[in-house]
Structure 1
Amino acid sequence: MATPVPLIVDVDTGIDDALALLYLLASPDAEILTVASTAGNVPAAQVAANNLAWLDLCGRPDIEVTLGSAVPLDDDLRTTEDTHGPQGLGYAELTASTRPLSDRDSATAWVEIARSRPGEVTGLVTGPLTNLALALRIEPALPVLLRRLVVMGGAFNHPGNTTPKAEWNISVDPEAAREVFDAFSAAPPDRRPLVCPLDITETIEMKPEHLRRIAERAGSSPVELITEQDPPGTRSRTGNPALRVLSDAVRFYFEFHRDHGQGFLAHMHDPFAAALALDPTWARTRPATVDVELTGRLTRGCTVADWHGMWGRAPNADIAVGTDPVAFFDHLVDRVGSGMRQLSRN
């Protein structure tokens, strides 16, 4: 087996962030060094509470959880409880953790971990880039200290999901995103950030059948089957506690997408980004120079890619442009289902 990938995981948990964490916890090729909590889908304190409780339920209370900035760099915080539920996990209810947060904040954790293992650690950000931008202000050498950075964010040849041109994670803190992309222009070509935008993540469509297959792989009883005909807010009856939380969270996500005309499905942005952090070959990529619009009246938060060197600046990112969603979901179902089966035995 390959040596596990050491990871800093920075999340704004969030339904799809929770599945991304579950995927990484079930992955023998992942070594989670810390989980940073970013304000985004819900406020930072709620994100941290979700992270602590979710890790406890998944049998990993040993993993550090840090608290990040409560606000973006230069703007008021906007959250999206309409998408992710009042606590960020849809209909799911987690038992509050009794363990404390780390004594160090998220930006400090980024810096200290990268310094302690230069050239080894991959950073995965599935929320706004606030904590990483603050970490770069402490340690500008992060682009060369990290082995790789994977970012779920942006939209290039695709509509935004927050404004017509802006994706949520970038639009929450565009100043942070610009600081990160500017700083990582210093990364060597083989360490350029891998950007996972809506162009690719909105092809990662989770459907009730995928959740049923995860439940079967986990050996869950009774059979877990979510249907569009169920009354809104129907709760899972499965005996597997982690699967019950996941099902109640994902049901909310299915209903949200349906109510916005996208079908009874859920775009699982963050689990795909997590998979890329472990194995970048899950995506076909294309190098580009990425920048973020800050002042446009209609385009603030828009990510712009120069694919052809028109700005005269070297590429600062590799952008995911294609994948095989069927193969990815086969992989996700097997890994998450197997992890839940093992968890139920412990």
Structure 2
Amino acid sequence: MANKIIIDTDPGIDDILALLLALSSKPEEVELLLISLTFGNIEVKNCLRNAVSMFHILERETEWRRQNGRPEGFGAMRACRPVVAVGAEDPLEDQKMLADYFHGTDGLGGIHDSHPHLTPSQAWEQLFDPAADPDGIEAVQSGAGSRDHPFIPSKIPAHKEILRVLRENEPDTVTLVAVGPLTNLALASAEDPETFLRVKEVVVMGGAVNQPGNVTPVGEFNAYADAFAAARVFALTSPNPNSTLPPTESPVLPPYPAKLSRRLTLRLFPLDITLRHNISKGEFRKAVTPLLESGSPLAEWVDAFMGHTFRTLERLHPGHVGDDAHLSLHDPVCVWYALTSTDPKWAPSPTSPEDIRIETTGQWTRGMCVIDRRSRHKIEGDTESSSDHGLWLSANAGNRILRMDESPAEKNFGEIMIQRLFG
């Protein structure tokens, strides 16, 4: 049976690669039910343009492959049209930070200006606008053939779509892969925690435990971009979720109910594991060059934003030069787990489940993954004491995070991904 998944994302370069990896799968591997969009790498409106552009390119690629007698691929996309929904524009409480310094202001290295022929017209925007005139929408649908597009546009917020999907499917059958800030997840779990807890597991790309951060010395981007949201979602793994909720001065979201029917299963993919899954410029160039020469629309599109990526890596990181420059495939690793989770080579750290909490108020430590590294005896009960500020030692409090540490594809994941995308 195909794995049912939701991908919550802020496309972004590696986010697009993650989406392509899911859509290029076989129908029996995955059923992508929903793509929920959030701010993060860029503003959420640009995230939507990138997602729609991806589907536009895939339509062209499918036709090109058909005309040239090549296997069409992207069976999962043809078998199940995912809903695309627009979500959070801002973090819950923090000052907004984007990663356009890496991804470009449009999220794909300026591709919409440098390669305008690869970007669809913006008539599709009306399909997502709740206030749009229905007659106008029908005109767009008729003119653009949107009923035949490989996605279904949603007019309701992404966090409500997440709850809808979880209500309409049996408990423990849908995996939620979150590869951006966790704002949509925090909103969904606050609105209806019991429905949110119907999820099989939440797979999160975020945080840094034993590695430096990538936006501050201790902060990884997704955890930093909305630390309050991450802390709230992590809290649902606790026997007492309210024991680890972040302090707040504004009633943005309420506390969780005192009693919940179950705890959230959350698998965390921090930089510690994602940095070990890479693709080099040389590997990418070798694979994509013959496809560019053959006229593949997908190869032209991906090559355009990957060229920007490798140039940025050379500028930001010493030693990332020429064909040796390599891109860490943070988000695709999480999708690969969702596709292959039964492989026994996937394994959490030996110390999992761990009480990992996200710092929300520190001047220099926003988004930091905090772990109690003290060697202390556990304390029964859930009352804070002077020797255990924060209930770190309580057996009835604290988060329970499965921090992933071992992968079946660490050495050749870039090769696997390229083969999946381009055949």
TM-score by length of 2: 0.70
Shift in Å at residue 315 of structure 1? 5.2
Counterpart among 303, 306, 313 of residue 247 in structure 1: 303
2: CA distance between counterparts of 1:183 and 1:208?
Answer: 40
Per the TM alignment, residue 321 of structure 1 is displaced from its structure 2 partner at its CA by 1.7
Partner of 1:331: 416
For structure 2, list consecutive stretches of 5 or more residues without a partner in the other structure. Answer: 60-76, 113-117, 129-153, 240-260, 379-391
Q: In the alignment, what sits opposite 1:311?
A: 393
Q: Which residue, out of 19, 23, 26, partners 2:24?
A: 26
Q: Helix, strand or coil for the counterpart of 1:220?
A: helix
Give yes or no for the alignment of 1:301 onto 2:354: no
Amino acid at match of 1:319: R
Matched position secondary structure for 1:58: helix
Secondary structure, in 3 states, of the residue corresponding to 2:355? strand
CA distance in 2, matches of 1:37, 1:131: 8
Specify which of 348, 353, 363 is matched with residue 285 of structure 1: 348
* Structure 1 residues 212 and 185: CA distance shift in structure 2, 3 A: same
**Unmatched tracts of structure 1, length 5 or more:** 223-237, 339-346
Q: How far apart, CA to CA, are the structure 1 residues paired with 2:234 and 2:228?
A: 10
Aligned residues: 318
Matched, 1:272 2:357: no
Q: Choose the corresponding residue for 1:112, options 164, 186, 189.
A: 164
CA shift digits 1:259-301 (9 cap, x unpaired): 1125122111111111012223463312112211111121111
Structure 1 residue 95 corresponds to structure 2 residue 134: no
Match of 1:139 in 2: 192
Match of 1:207 among 262, 273, 280: 280
Q: 1:92·1:246 contact (CA, 8 Å) conserved in 2? A: no
Residue identity in the other structure for 2:303: S
| In structure 1, distance between residues paired with 2:216 and 2:415 | 32
Deviation readout 1:308-338 (Å, 9 max, x if unpaired): 8753346522111233422323322321222
Aligned to 2:406: 322
Match of 1:203, SS state, is coil
Deviations 1:102-124 (A, max 9, x none): 11110001101011112210101
Conservation of the 8 A alpha-carbon contact between 2:108 and 2:305: yes
**Distance of 1:314 and 1:147 partners within structure 2:** 21
For 1:90, give the aligned amino acid. Answer: G
Q: Tell me if structure 2 keeps the 8 A contact 1:167–1:301.
A: yes
- Tell me how far apart the structure 1 counterparts of residues 87 and 183 of structure 2 sit (CA, whole Å): 8
Q: Which amino acid aligns with 2:204?
A: V
5-14 vs 302-311, which deviates more? 302-311
- How far apart are 1:221 and its partner, in Å? 4.2
Letter of the 1:284 partner, please give it.
A
Q: How does 1:109-258 map to 2 (within 5 A)?
A: 109-117=161-169, 118-142=171-195, 144-185=197-238, 192-215=265-288, 220-222=291-293, 239-258=295-314
Larger radius of gyration: 2
CA distance in 1: counterparts of 2:83 and 2:51, whole angstroms: 10
Once the two structures are overlaid, the 10-residue window that deviates more, 271-280 or 38-47, is: 271-280
Measure how far apart 1:211 and its partner are. Answer: 1.6
Percent identity reads: 28
Which residue matches 1:344?
none
1:65 matched to 2:121? The reply is no
Letter in 2 for 1:18: I
2:278·2:413 contact (CA, 8 Å) conserved in 1?
Answer: no
Structure 2 contact 357–399 (Cα < 8 Å) conserved? no
Structure 1 residues 5-29: Cα deviation after superposition (integer angstroms, max 9, x where no partner): 1111111000000000010011111
Moved more, 5-14 or 137-146: 137-146
CA shift in 2, pair 1:284/1:214, >3 Å: farther
Superimposed CA distance per residue, residues 169-214 of structure 1 (whole angstroms, 9 cap, x where no aligned partner): 010100000000002336968x621111111111222112332354
SS state at 2:36 partner: strand
Deviates further, 325-334 or 19-28: 325-334
Matched to 1:199, the amino acid is D
| TM norm structure 1 | 0.85
Equivalents in 2 of 1:292, 1:314: separation in Å? 12
Structure-2 change in CA distance of 1:122 and 1:58 (3 Å): same
Q: How many angstroms does 1:57 deviate by?
A: 1.8
Q: More deviation in 300-309 or 261-270?
A: 300-309
Within 2, Cα distance between the matches of 1:259 and 1:67? Answer: 33
Q: Which residue identity lines up with residue 156 of structure 1 in the other structure?
A: V
Structure 2 letter corresponding to 1:215: V
Greater CA drift, 196-205 or 125-134: 196-205
* Structure 1 residue 31, shift from structure 2 partner: 1.1
* Bigger shift: residues 114-123 or 52-61: 52-61
1:38-53 equivalences in 2 (<5 Å): 38-53=38-53
| Cα offset, 1:55, TM superposition | 2.0
- Tell me the equivalent position of 1:36: 36
Conserved 8 A contact 1:13-1:51: yes
